[in-house]
Amino acid sequence: MLGLVDNKKVVIVGIPGVGKTSLVTKLVELIIQHSKTVSVHSFGTVMLEEAMKNGVKDRDELRTLPIEKQQDLQKMAAEKISKMEDDVVLIDTHAFISTKSGFYPGLPNYVIQIIQPTNFIAITASPDEIHNRRMKDKTRTRDPISIEDIKKELAVQDAMLSSCSVLSGSPMKVVFNHEGKVDEVAVAVLGAIGL
């Protein structure tokens, strides 16, 4: 159990279509049932709030910014999130961002050092499930994607998050969020973070 001064900073990553938002919502419900305080911070939203001051219109535009600007925004978001004091701080982010320069780490070492996460959770699903979920999601502007592209994204996510685990010394758990199984997955995540 958590001590009075200890808190959990749990980084949760997942490529679009793995059901991360649904899982995070369920985790919040369960953590509250454990009589713990919890907050959820979307790394991209924190970055977007700052970027909007400089004319960026939406989240999808963030990934088109120059790398240096993305780095500045990442550091600012990490500093803000690192100061959160809830029993459990859930950091909803991506292991990488697809840019013109290639896959850019969503959690470079300088971000990890600022936040000092206690746990890394990678949400995944089968490439077919991910593809189907993306096709149904009309709320975002997404580039066309193939099953092969999704497999590549999953491999890059695993590689990026493995590196984060090594650099931080914090454990990484991969959980499969298959259709209709969000409750079971949430319980598995709580077990992984020690609740």
Model-level pTM? 0.88
CB atoms within 10 A of CB 97: 18
Q: Please answer whether residues 88 and 193 qualify as being in contact, where contact means their C-beta atoms are separated by less than 8 angstroms.
A: yes
How far is it between the farthest Cα atoms of the chain? 47
Between CA 61 and CA 80 the distance in angstroms is 21
Strand order in the sheet with 119-124: 38-42, 88-93, 8-13, 119-124, 172-176
pLDDT digits over 38-63, tens only?
999 999 888 998 889 888 988 878 77
78: phi then psi, degrees, rounded to nearest 5: -60, -45
CATH numbers and ranges of domains, the chain: 8-193 (3.40.50.300)
What percent of the chain is modeled with pLDDT above 90? Answer: 65
CB atoms within 10 A of CB 71: 15
First to last CA, the chain: 7
What percent of the chain is modeled with pLDDT above 70? Answer: 94
Q: What is the pLDDT of residue 2?
A: 42
